Chains A and B, each alone.
Chain A
Amino acid sequence: MPAVISIQDLVKDYKVGEIPVHVLKGISFEIERGDFVSIMGPSGSGKSTLMNILGCLDKPTSGVYKLDDVSVGGLNRDQLAEIRNRKIGFVFQQFNLLARTSAVENVELPLMYTDVSSQDRHDRAMKALHAVGLEGREEHQPSQLSGGQQQRVAIARSMVNDPHIILADEPTGALDSRTSIEVMAIFQKLNRKDGITMIVVTHDPDVAAYANRSLHFKDGKLQLDERIEHPSDAQKDLQMLPPEEPEEVAA
């Protein structure tokens, strides 16, 4: 498998006042296309910073980041936006849905910045919502959806533009354990069926257990790179749980 992400000697410094803070201190790794990788580490380990760089939201101080063999370092603001738009899907801990906007319009958002016609946009957003099991909730607004449903809208949004990679930053951080497994089941489906490369930042070992590979960071360095031979199957785990209670709808 060719590497979709290739990182070499990645360094990121922040200036706090006059003192430079070294957040990432020379990191190198590759991620193959179609892999499912978890990024773990305590807070302050630099995993969020790495995530921002992987997501083309931030640029490294030095080192090389190649996404699909394109070095990202030399790109300007709008070129980075274009890469995010075409190749990357984001899932956030706090969902980040637009309030007072229907689920389907939330999902359409990345396509607003493409040439896709409004009819196509709508069709693709509906398809994505159905893929995450939200039939019948297309016109609901975020305030009318439960946390798990909101996160599923966010996942639909992340996959609507057929990205190569989905980056999820603590996607289960605001969810209970059952909905966490549901979310991971969707991720595994996207990874296995659609071949999307998944990268999930988490500090929860149970969540990391669904990945094929786990990268552990500490103090701005890659400490452990382990391959998980037999990742858990979220779909099976769900079936083993006691029957589902009626889903709670947030007020």
Chain B
Amino acid sequence: MKKIVSSIRIALRALKVNRMRSALTMLGIIIGVAAVIAMVAVGSGATARIQDQIQSIGSNLIIVLPGSISSNGVRLGSGAVVTLSEDDAKAIATECPSVASVAPTVRGGVQVVYGNNNWATTAQGVTPDYMTIRDSTMMLGQFFTDQDVDSAAKVAVLGQTVARNLFGDSDPTSQAIIIKNVPFTVAGVLTPKGQSPSGQDQDDVILLPISTAKQKVLGANKANAKAVGSLMVQAISPQAMDSALQEIEALLRERHRILPGLDADFTIRNLTEVFAAQETSARVMSILLGAIASVSLIVGGIGIMNIMLVSVTERTREIGLRLAVGAKTRDILSQFLVEAVTLSLLGGFIGILVGLASSYLISYFAQWSTVVSPMSIALAFVFSALVGVFFGYYPARKAAYFDPIEALRYE
């Protein structure tokens, strides 16, 4: 231990002799380490943002949409005919063991008026289960209850965007708004969720009890009063997603009397899976950025090797003298190895500081979220030490096997 400390002292002194050269050599490692840390930070920032967005749409979420149906050979577009009903929702909730809860929804575009302000948005008719399925919470007021749904109460819950556009900064709760000439009371405002993974503003929405929405706002389907636009289903756990999908498929085919082999009149989508793919691509991106950055670390290492070779040649006589007075092979080897590692570790340390600073600057100026993981710092540090050992070994070995006579005579 004492020996290592004194070796490091000797190495530092040798590096101090050629300050400029040591600094420039270190610069290679500094840039390499800083690049790795900053790039990984940008990459993990992107991954973290996508994870947040996936969280925002709700966990273990499955959406059942009305599908295309063929009528006398004419295929109609998806959703053209409403095939899902509130009864389907109830059936899924009670009969599928992998399903935690189901929220039937209807949706449509509406114009909302408050005083002199008005705003075009999407109205969704939902049940209180919607809140748990979407992992939503209330920022102000209360969500409507099952009684409100049963009694088709004229209450509305606003998304943040809608609230801001109609009410500005004032509190919208208990205020009266008008949707399609029907007065509603604002029950509360949702906690903002921001963008969905597909880029939609999830706060530009107004939630109504599904019954009220169908009867007063969006208009009920004349043929089937119980028809709904889509079903949001939450599986009991991420592992239960696949079985939930199968159970829903089987149940709905049975309920809709679709013979085996025929196309279903509904589509089931595993939303989490769709967006998890995006997360994977972001992660690949961050690995790629890190890999490119580590190339510069290797280039920095080659710089160290180059300078150590120059240094060994310059100090041939010194090496010869040390060998003559009794330095063993491993003494010279460790002297130059410690010097190379000191150089690279010092560079690595400064590089970490520069990397932290630049990831902060990136998030400040480019408004990108960056996440510096302690793991990437530790990795960069260890990697820079390894670069020192790897690229310092050859010059050190060369020095250690000098012929003392030749080395002493070297001019």
Interface, chain A (partner B; CB < 8 A): 52, 55, 57-58, 77-78, 81-82, 84-86, 90, 92, 96, 98, 100, 109-110, 112-114, 118, 157, 161
Residue pair B321, A96 in contact (C-beta under 8 Å): yes
Is A84 a contact of B326 with CB atoms below 8 Å? yes
Asked if residues B328 and A58 are in contact (CB atoms below 8 Å), the reply is: no
> Could you tell me the distance between the alpha carbons of A78 and B328 in the complex, rounded to whole angstroms?
5
Task: With a 10 A CB-CB cut-off, give which of B317, B324, B404, B408 has the most chain A CB atoms.
Answer: B324
Q: Which of A84, A98, A110, A112 has its CB near the most chain B CB atoms (within 10 A)?
A: A112
**A contact residues around B331 at 8 Å (CB):** 113
Q: Which residue of B lies closest to A86 (CB)?
A: B326
Contacts of B320 in A (CB 8 A): 96
Cα A84 to Cα B405 in complex, Å, equals 13
Partner of B324, one of A55, A77, A98, A114: A55
Nearest A residue (CB) for B326: A85
> How many Å lie between the Cα of A57 and that of B326 in the bound state?
10
Tell me whether chain B's interface is mostly helix, strand or loop, or mixed: helix
Assess the B408–A92 pair: CB atoms within 8 A: yes
Within 8 A of A (CB), among B353-398: none
Structural contact, A81 and B326, CB atoms closer than 8 A = yes
Kindly state the separation between the CA atoms of A52 and B17 in the bound complex, as whole angstroms: 31
Decide yes or no whether B49 CB sits under 8 A from chain A: no
CA distance A57 to B320 in the complex (A): 10
A-B contact pairs, 20 of them (CB 8 A): A52-B405, A57-B404, A57-B405, A77-B328, A77-B329, A78-B329, A81-B326, A81-B327, A84-B324, A84-B326, A90-B324, A96-B317, A96-B320, A96-B321, A98-B321, A109-B325, A112-B327, A113-B328, A114-B326, A118-B6
A58 with B324: CB separation less than 8 A? no
Q: Contacts A52-B405, A57-B405, A118-B6 given; indicate if A98 touches B326 (C-beta within 8 A).
A: no
- In the complex, A81 Cα to B326 Cα: how many Å? 4
Instruction: Report the interface size for chain B: residues with CB under 8 A from the other chain.
Output: 20
The main secondary structure of chain A at its interface with chain B is helix
Question: Do B326 and A110 touch across chains, with their CB atoms under 8 A apart?
Answer: yes
Question: B25-61, CB under 8 A of A: which get 1 and which 0?
Answer: 0000000000000000000000000000000000000
A122 to B318, CA, bound (A): 20
Do B405 and A109 touch across chains, with their CB atoms under 8 A apart? Answer: no
Verify B324–A57 contact, CB threshold 8 A.
yes
Contacts of B317 in A (CB 8 A): 96
Q: Which residues of B contact A96 (CB under 8 A)?
A: 317, 320-321, 408
Q: Which of B297-323 contact A (CB under 8 A)?
A: 317-318, 320-323
B372 to chain A, nearest CB (A): 40
Q: Are B325 and A98 in contact (CB under 8 A)?
A: no
Q: Which of B17, B321, B322, B325 has the most CB of A within 10 A?
A: B325
- Other 18 A-B pairs with CB < 8 A, given A57-B404, A57-B405: A57-B324, A77-B329, A78-B328, A78-B329, A82-B328, A92-B408, A96-B317, A96-B320, A96-B321, A98-B318, A109-B325, A112-B327, A113-B325, A113-B326, A113-B328, A113-B331, A118-B2, A157-B325
Select the residue from A110, A114, A157 with max chain B CB neighbours within 10 A: A110
> How far, in whole Å, are A81 and B322 apart by their CA atoms in the complex?
10
B405 & A58 in contact (Cβ 8 Å cutoff): yes
Q: Give the chain B neighbours of A52 by CB distance below 8 A.
A: 405
CA of A114 to CA of B327 in the docked complex: distance in angstroms?
9
Tell me, in angstroms, the Cα distance from A123 to B17 when the chains sit together: 26
The answer to whether B321 touches A113 (Cβ under 8 A) is no
Distance (Å) between the CB of B401 and the closest chain A CB?
Answer: 8
Closest B residue to A52 using CB positions: B405
Q: A92-B408, A96-B317, A118-B6 in contact; A113/B327 too (CB < 8 A)?
A: yes
Is A85's CB under 8 angstroms from B6's CB? no
Closest to A118 in B: B6
Q: Give bound CA distance, A114 to B328, whole Å.
A: 10
Which chain B residues border A98 with CB–CB below 8 Å? 318, 321
